Structures are given as C-alpha cells and as structure tokens.
C-alpha cells in the first residue's frame, strides 16, 4: 500500500471517528452530562475568548470613536442652534405672558369698576408743550361723548386722568387734569373739605388746589380725591397728594400744590366713564377761554368779597 493510500485511509478513519464523536454528542446534547460538560468547556474557553476579543473590540472602538467625535460636533452645533431658538421662544413667551397678565388685569379691573366704562388705548400724545392732550382709539362708535370723565389704574389705584374734549368716530382727545384749563371738583379725603383743582401745565406738572377752606388741616402727603360736585367725576376717585400748602393770613381760603397720582409717561390704557352730561353745577374744562363754571364763579365771588391784602405765611 502506497504512502498516499495509507495517508488517505488514515484521513478517512480520523474522519469517521470525529464524525462519530460529533454525532454522538448531538444525540446526547440534551442529557445532563452533556449540558454540564458543555458548561465546563465554556468556562474553560471563555477567558481565551474574552482575551482574544478585547483587542479587536478596542481597535473597533478606536475607529468608531473618531466617527462618534465628528457626529458629536455636528450634534453640538445643532443643539446650540436649537438652544438659541428655544431662548428666543422663551423670551417671546415671557413677553406674551406679561402682555396676557396685563390685559387680564385690565379686564379684571374693568369688571371691578362700578361704572360703565369703555377701555381705550392711548395711541398718541400731543407734541405741543403748552397744550397737552392724549389721543385714544375709541370714539363715537364706542359710545364716547364729549366731557366724559376719564380714569386709569396705576399701582392698583384708580386715578383721575382727565376729560374727553373732542370726539371723532373712532378716536377721542382727552385733556389731562394737569392741563391749565382743566378744573376738577376735589376734596381732602381725610376731612372732606372741598375745593377746586386746576391744572398748571406747562408752567408746572403740579396741580393747584384752590378755594380750600382755611380751617381744613392740610399737610404734606394728604390724599386729594374727587368731590363729585358738578356731576362729572364720580366721588372718591384719587387725584393726587399734597406736596405744599399755601395759607394766607387773610382770606377764607387756602391753596395747596397737588402732585397727580397718574404718571402720564406710563399711561397705556384708560377707562372712559360713559355717563350723561352733568346736571348739577358744571365743572367743565375751559377751552379756548370759554367757561361755564357757575360753581367756580361763585367761589371766586366770595373770595373777592372778603379779599384782604394777602400776606404769605
């Protein structure tokens, strides 16, 4: 027998043996012995597998980390852009939220006001210095009429703004109480002494409270409110605070300078009180020199009758 044939026969024998072993193992694979044997073999082989696989995984992780790094940079850039967008959205949201709260407050205030009102937005202010007016976006179509009183809320306080002096269909002009031709019936809240409040603009941003009884005790910080006389302004609406008092030695009246509670620079919304024309003694604004203020004239007459040389005290 040649070497080739012997070698071939050897190969066949080995083949048969190995196939037999494999086949037998398969046949007994579900037996307890085989399972345990497999388990033992696995525990022997596994460390080599772990050691062999680790370097390969390391190489793979090295190359994938390069790609991961590149992708992370892209994601970072995208995230930054997204963050900027979110910050813009957040800012807009905050703005909208503030606007919403403000409008809710306005609506809430309107519901609390015991009068019928029309909310109007201040859209413009007169550019002139010597004659100040406010322009609002409500007019005849919204029920606004001339001489209607106008109030506003600032710092949760209801305050006098002025009166409507001119009305168009969709807009109206308001004369503020600081305007020199504006007269409002006023009284000291604490003692209920009444007088007349007159604007002094452009000479001063303060109002002059005149014809206040000399017996009225006034001091710095006292609150001046509407007296309701004349029927234009409802009674009890805050006008301003006393900043200085001028009491003359002779005469029956005293005067005081009043700082309005309203900050006209921050005025955005006003409430126009929709009422009828005043029935009682009028406290109408003086426009173009014309006045129909019998109440004021009565007070002036009384002052002239008892006028004595004035000496500043």
Which residues form the interface with another protein (CB under 8 A)? 3-4, 7-8, 10-11, 14-15, 18-19, 21-27, 29, 34, 38, 41-42, 45-46, 49, 52-53, 56-57, 59-60
Give yes or no for a contact between 245 and 298, defined as CB atoms under 8 angstroms apart.
no
User: Shortest distance, CB of residue 92 to another protein, whole angstroms?
Assistant: 46
User: Shortest distance, CB of residue 63 to another protein, whole angstroms?
Assistant: 9
User: Shortest distance, CB of residue 52 to another protein, whole angstroms?
Assistant: 3
Burial (0-12, 13-18, 19+ Cβ within 10 Å), 237 = buried
Nearest to 232 by CA among 107, 136, 115: 115
For 102, the token pair is: 């403000």
Nearest to 147 by CA among 232, 230, 228, 227: 232
Nearer to another protein, 49 or 294 (CB): 49
CA pair distance 239, 259, nearest whole angstrom: 8
Nearer to another protein, 40 or 83 (CB): 40
User: Shortest distance, CB of residue 75 to another protein, whole angstroms?
Assistant: 22
Neighbour tally for 158: CB within 10 Å: 18
CA pair distance 23, 20, nearest whole angstrom: 5
Nearer to another protein, 41 or 103 (CB): 41
User: Shortest distance, CB of residue 1 to another protein, whole angstroms?
Assistant: 14
User: Shortest distance, CB of residue 24 to another protein, whole angstroms?
Assistant: 7
* Residue 278 CA neighbour count, 13 Å, CB half: 24
Nearer to another protein, 65 or 100 (CB): 65
Would you give the distance in Å from CA 25 to the centre of its chain? 82
Nearer to another protein, 35 or 203 (CB): 35
Give yes or no for a contact between 148 and 275, defined as CB atoms under 8 angstroms apart.
yes
Nearest to 116 by CA among 155, 146, 147, 142: 142
Prior bond of 202 cis (ω within 30°):
yes
User: Shortest distance, CB of residue 96 to another protein, whole angstroms?
Assistant: 50
Nearer to another protein, 14 or 124 (CB): 14
CA pair distance 269, 242, nearest whole angstrom: 25
User: Shortest distance, CB of residue 69 to another protein, whole angstroms?
Assistant: 18
**Would you say the C-alpha torsion 65, 70, 74, 80 has a positive or negative sign?**
positive
Phi and psi of 55, rounded to 5°? -65, -35
Nearer to another protein, 4 or 309 (CB): 4
Nearer to another protein, 34 or 200 (CB): 34
- CA distances, 88 to each of 62, 74, 95, 101 (Å): 39, 22, 11, 20
């Amino acid at each position: 027998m040649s070497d080739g044939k012997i070698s071939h026969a050897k190969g066949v024998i080995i083949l048969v043996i190995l196939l037999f072993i494999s086949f037998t193992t398969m046949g007994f694979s579900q037996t307890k012995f085989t399972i345990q044997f497999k388990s033992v073999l696995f525990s022997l082989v596994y460390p080599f597998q772990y050691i062999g696989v680790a370097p390969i995984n390391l190489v793979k992780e090295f190359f994938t980390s390069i790609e991961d790094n590149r992708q992370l940079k892209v994601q970072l850039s995208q995230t930054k852009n997204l963050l900027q967008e979110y910050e813009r959205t957040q800012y807009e949201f905050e703005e909208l939220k503030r606007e919403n709260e403000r409008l809710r407050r306005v609506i809430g205030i309107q519901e609390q006001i015991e009068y019928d009102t029309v909310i109007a937005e201040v859209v413009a202010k007169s550019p002139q210095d010597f004659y100040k007016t406010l322009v609002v976006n409500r007019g005849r179509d919204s029920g606004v009429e001339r001489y209607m009183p106008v109030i506003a809320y600032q710092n949760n306080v209801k305050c006098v703004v002025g009166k409507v002096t001119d009305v168009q269909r969709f807009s109206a002009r308001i004369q503020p109480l600081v305007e020199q031709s504006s007269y409002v019936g006023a009284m000291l809240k604490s003692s209920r002494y009444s007088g007349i409040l007159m604007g002094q603009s452009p000479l001063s941003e303060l109002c002059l409270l005149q014809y206040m009884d000399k017996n009225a005790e006034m001091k710095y910080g006292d609150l001046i409110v509407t007296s309701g006389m004349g029927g234009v302004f409802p009674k009890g609406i805050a006008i301003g605070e006393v900043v200085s008092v001028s009491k003359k030695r002779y005469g029956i009246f005293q005067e005081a300078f009043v700082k309005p509670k309203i900050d006209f620079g921050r005025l955005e919304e006003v409430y126009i009180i929709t009422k009828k024309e005043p029935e009682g003694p009028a406290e109408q604004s003086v426009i173009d020199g014309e006045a129909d203020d019998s109440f004021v004239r009565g007070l002036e007459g009384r002052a002239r009758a008892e006028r004595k040389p004035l000496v500043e005290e």
